[in-house]
Structure 1
Amino acid sequence: MTQREFDLVLYGATGFAGKLTAEYLARSGAQARIALAGRSEERLRAVRDSLGAGARDWPLLTADASVPATLDAMAARTQVVVTAVGPYTKYGLPLVAACAEAGTDYADLTGETMFIRESIDQFHKQALDTGARIVHSCGFDSVPSDLTTYALYRRAAADGAGHLGDTDLVVRTLAGGVSGGTVASTMEFMRTSSRDPHARQLMNDPYTLSPDRAAEPELGGQPDIRWRRGGEIAPELAGYWTGAFAMAGPNTRIVRRSNALLDYAYGRRFAYSEQMSLGRSLAAPLAAAVVTGSSAVALGLGGRYFDRLPATLVERVAPKPGTGPSEQTRMRGRYRVETYTTTSSGARYVASMAQQGDPGYQATAVLLGECGLALALDRDKLSDLRGVLTPAAAMGDALLARFPAADVQLETTALRRTEMIGARGTPV
């Protein structure tokens, strides 16, 4: 790429997630040439003025998703566009188009699987030709899922322990609010799937985002909604119960796409699922059943009859896009996930990842900021892949190197071998 005016442009800097990302970049992006972009120069200036001396000279760019020419102009001036403007199904494709055309790297926060599928279908080939990296799902959805699995792959490869087999992410701690942007994205997905039977069919396929569906292994069902005894996942979780995790659908498909994009480096027998720990009390089995059953009913009804449901009631109660909790509430939030795997040699590992801060807001802003900075500044550490990518496939090594300085804790640990038989009938 020829030298461009900016290393990174943050688009949507006046929204709630955008402001938090701008604050993070002001603290951590001192080496980068950064600009802020959005529809209103006045609001952009107010955001910039709130960021302190480090951002005082950041340029302001006016760009609007409804005016594609403004997106084209923005993409042509920078190496990387980081966008917090959603729902992406409604607003995202024109910016993907602009970046694919200009050969500009791109990172977003989407958890909208059908948007990613459209991005692949329409722009993957063009991005390959121009050298653009279009990287979706760079927040809490789906960096912890994608990077813990990638870290396990790197650890197993370094140890000569073989390929990854049964791999399960368990959310052990999750404290924080629901993002207004996440609610808007969920509503948009429900609307799409209720009107489009083909979209519902695709969402039932574990390899919805595969670059080559026919090349994927047939491993049987890998359900997104399930409840299990913790001991079926790993002996270390014996006594715990797990239930459905709300973001398993998009996250699992991102992780499976990473494996395919990396030429099945994780393995041809790599099977991946996600669930949430619900404790080990006497009530835990009931909680697991209720959470999982409720998720199944909500997804089933929403996917078929959303237009007939009182969706406006949900939208009235839920946080609005561009809004969020107080700073004190955000800082009290936290999460911790653990991803367990058994390799083809029988070795067992766990990768744990944790951050302090509300997952949907504070932690996500850090992850999006680090993804943007990795694309902009760590180009020698990025993979050679181009096109529509995932965080792990585009910049796995760069992110692993960046995490410690960003207070993102990610570590892998070798576990004791055992002859216990897991839920899929394989030794763990």
Structure 2
Amino acid sequence: MSGRAHDVVVYGATGFVGRLLAEYLAEHAPSGTRIALAGRSRTRLEEARRGLPAAARDWPVLVADATDEAALEELAASTTVVATTVGPYLRYGLPLALACARTGTHYADLTGEVLFVRRVIDACDDLARSTGARIVTACGYDSVPSDLGVHLLHQRARHDAAGALLDTTLHARARGGLSGGTIDSSRAQVEAVEADRRALKVLFDPYALSPERAAEPDLGKERDVTTVFEDAQTGDWVGPFVMAAFNSRIVRRSNALRGHAYGRRFRYREVNAFGRGARGHRRALVQSAALGLAMKAMADPRTRPLVDRLAPSPGQGPSEQTRRTGWFSMTLRTTTETGRRYVATVRAQGDPGYAATAVMLGESALALALDGDRLPAAAGVLTPATAIGDVLVERLRARDFALTVEELPTA
């Protein structure tokens, strides 16, 4: 793609997360990286560019509406990579993904929407394979920590000849804010279910994003955690994790795309960890109940207007202080076929959904644009682990992310 005008195009550069991504690239992309800003309004793009660091002042601006297929295809053909923050992806994302698949352009997004990824797989996978495009979904807090954490566990177990992975659990801890875009993405999936109840089957299928559903192993009921309980391994009180229903499907897709290299009996779940003792128990009960009520309120047309009034509007997000002081820490524990046990940790400073996510998406885009000869030999609709893998691990470590794995004593 050396003949293309740009290395990376930031699509949605006038939105809340798009501006954070553009700012990150202006500060950290290697000198000489050809970056452009794109969206539907030239005036707003030029205004956003004026607010970026000096390195971005000469970046071109490209105008393309999310519904204009011809403009999107022209945009995609001009660059090696499109990094898009325009959501809800279920409403606006498919035409751009298709444009990238048709033109052989790599693509990275921040989606946490199962229904969108399923549509992209169905519409783009074969086409992207034929053109060599890497269509990489979930390149932010959804689902880079989960996907790379299991990737590291698999690598270590393979290095140690410890056998395939069996039961694997991610314990999540984080502090950060909420944006209107996140709420809007949830609303889009609810509306899709209301329009077609068959979408519920996709949402509740643990292998909804697998390339070949019939080839998945029958491991009995694999359901996301819905109750509060004391974890036997860690002693923490744990409960439902809001991102588990998406992240777990991405991780299972990675396993399937790799020929079930993690194992044919690989079982994966994610939980929110609240700490030990009575205090941890109280926190687990209160926060899990609040999550349940919020999800029910969003799903019920009678109470959804109340959520709309209380939640941030699209385009709004957490303050600069919240983004700076936020953090996340995910620990993933697994047992292998030989009985050996490992723990991986993925941890970073910065609000996970915004400050840290800008780093994850930014480094994913730079890897796709600049590290082509080092990436896995793959094309189609991919995951962060299968499309970028070790290269993304290296890039995030260089940006002060902790990505580690160690063996635990045998029980």
TM-score, L = length of structure 1:
0.92
1:337 and 2:330 matched: yes
Letter in 1 for 2:8: L
CA distance, structure 2, for counterparts of residue 44 and residue 269 of structure 1 = 49
Say whether the 8 Å CA contact 2:65–2:72 is kept in structure 1.
yes
Q: 1:403 to 1:7 in 2, by over 3 A?
A: same
The equivalent of 2:20 in structure 1 is 20
1:116 and 2:117 matched: yes
CA distance, structure 2, for counterparts of residue 335 and residue 341 of structure 1 = 20
Q: SS at the partner of 2:62?
A: strand
Q: 1:2 to 1:405 in 2, by over 3 A?
A: closer
User: 1:256-314, CA deviations, whole angstroms, 9 ceiling, x for partnerless residues?
Assistant: 001001111111111000001112131534543555466556656755xx3x3221221
Say whether the 8 Å CA contact 2:225–2:269 is kept in structure 1.
no
Percent identical pairs in the alignment equals: 51
Q: 1:53 to 1:47 in 2, by over 3 A?
A: same
The equivalent of 2:389 in structure 1 is 396
User: 1:78-113, CA deviations, whole angstroms, 9 ceiling, x for partnerless residues?
Assistant: 010000000001100110111011010000000010
Q: Which residues in structure 2 correspond to 1:334-373 (within 5 Å)?
A: 334-373=327-366
The structure 1 residue matched to 2:243, chosen from 237, 243, 247, is: 247
CA distance, structure 2, for counterparts of residue 228 and residue 380 of structure 1 = 46
The structure 2 residue matched to 1:313, chosen from 303, 306, 309, is: 306
The equivalent of 1:215 in structure 2 is 215
Letter in 2 for 1:50: G
Letter in 1 for 2:174: L
1:269 and 2:265 matched: yes
User: 1:239-258, CA deviations, whole angstroms, 9 ceiling, x for partnerless residues?
Assistant: x1100001110110000001
CA distance, structure 1, for counterparts of residue 228 and residue 339 of structure 2 = 22
Q: SS at the partner of 1:178?
A: coil
CA distance, structure 1, for counterparts of residue 381 and residue 199 of structure 2 = 19
Q: Which residues in structure 2 correspond to 1:69-148 (within 5 Å)?
A: 69-148=70-149
Using the TM superposition, name which of 379-388 and 98-107 deviates more: 379-388
The equivalent of 2:46 in structure 1 is 45
Say whether the 8 Å CA contact 1:89–1:188 is kept in structure 2.
yes
Say whether the 8 Å CA contact 1:103–1:127 is kept in structure 2.
yes
How much has 1:201 moved relative to structure 2?
1.4
Q: 1:229 to 1:314 in 2, by over 3 A?
A: closer
How much has 1:228 moved relative to structure 2?
5.5
Say whether the 8 Å CA contact 1:80–1:104 is kept in structure 2.
yes
CA distance, structure 2, for counterparts of residue 243 and residue 36 of structure 1 = 40
Say whether the 8 Å CA contact 2:23–2:53 is kept in structure 1.
no
Using the TM superposition, name which of 215-224 and 11-20 deviates more: 215-224
How much has 1:369 moved relative to structure 2?
0.4
The equivalent of 1:326 in structure 2 is 319
1:385 and 2:386 matched: no
Letter in 2 for 1:273: R
CA distance, structure 2, for counterparts of residue 156 and residue 198 of structure 1 = 39
The equivalent of 1:67 in structure 2 is 68
RMSD, matched Cα? 1.7
The structure 1 residue matched to 2:255, chosen from 232, 255, 259, is: 259
Say whether the 8 Å CA contact 1:244–1:291 is kept in structure 2.
no
1:409 and 2:402 matched: yes
Letter in 2 for 1:281: G
The equivalent of 2:178 in structure 1 is 178
Say whether the 8 Å CA contact 2:113–2:185 is kept in structure 1.
yes
Say whether the 8 Å CA contact 1:174–1:336 is kept in structure 2.
yes
Using the TM superposition, name which of 195-204 and 367-376 deviates more: 195-204
CA distance, structure 2, for counterparts of residue 65 and residue 29 of structure 1 = 26
Letter in 2 for 1:319: P
Using the TM superposition, name which of 76-85 and 342-351 deviates more: 342-351
Using the TM superposition, name which of 106-115 and 150-159 deviates more: 150-159
Q: 1:295 to 1:195 in 2, by over 3 A?
A: farther
CA distance, structure 2, for counterparts of residue 309 and residue 271 of structure 1 = 37
CA distance, structure 2, for counterparts of residue 394 and residue 334 of structure 1 = 26
How much has 1:376 moved relative to structure 2?
0.6
Q: SS at the partner of 1:324?
A: coil
Say whether the 8 Å CA contact 2:231–2:238 is kept in structure 1.
no
CA distance, structure 2, for counterparts of residue 74 and residue 132 of structure 1 = 15
Q: SS at the partner of 2:381?
A: strand
User: 1:149-200, CA deviations, whole angstroms, 9 ceiling, x for partnerless residues?
Assistant: 11111111112211111110001x3111112211110111111123322111
The equivalent of 1:280 in structure 2 is 276
Say whether the 8 Å CA contact 1:225–1:296 is kept in structure 2.
no
Q: 1:300 to 1:16 in 2, by over 3 A?
A: closer
Q: SS at the partner of 2:330?
A: strand
Say whether the 8 Å CA contact 1:137–1:390 is kept in structure 2.
yes
How much has 1:52 moved relative to structure 2?
2.4
- Paired residue total: 410
Using the TM superposition, name which of 68-77 and 41-50 deviates more: 41-50
Q: SS at the partner of 2:271?
A: strand
CA distance, structure 2, for counterparts of residue 309 and residue 336 of structure 1 = 36
